[in-house]
Amino acid sequence: MSALTNCLEATRLISKSQHQKLTLLDGLALNAHLVLCKYCKSFQKDLTYVKVKLSEIDQEEIYLMNESYKKELAKKVLEELEK
């Protein structure tokens, strides 16, 4: 991978970083890209927000929720992401 990466590669690395530690080279390439790209920086922020919120929800509760509440919850998450 090159020192500076494109947005497609950056979003892949951002997603990967949510689940595992990036290699030194990948981490440096991603950080260099994030300094220059406000869109990928925003994507990283949004993805981190979603990950935190999902970790706060008990998975059994989600299974037991009725469909209208699930839709309402999804709408609230989307509204927060648009801020």
On whether the pTM is more than 0.75, the answer is no
- What is the DSSP secondary structure assignment for residue 75, as one 8-state letter? H
| Structural domain includes residue 1 | no
Say how many domains are in the chain: 1
CA 79 to chain centre: 15
What count of Cα atoms within 13 Å lies in the side-chain half-sphere of residue 55?
8
State which residues form the domain around 12: 7-81
What count of Cα atoms within 13 Å lies in the side-chain half-sphere of residue 7?
8
The answer to whether 10 and 26 have CB atoms below 8 angstroms apart is no
pLDDT tens string 20-53: 999 999 999 999 999 999 999 999 999 999 888 8
| Structural domain includes residue 70 | yes
* Whether pLDDT at 9 is above 70: yes
| Structural domain includes residue 2 | no
| Structural domain includes residue 51 | yes
Per-residue model confidence (pLDDT) at position 78: 84
| Structural domain includes residue 56 | yes
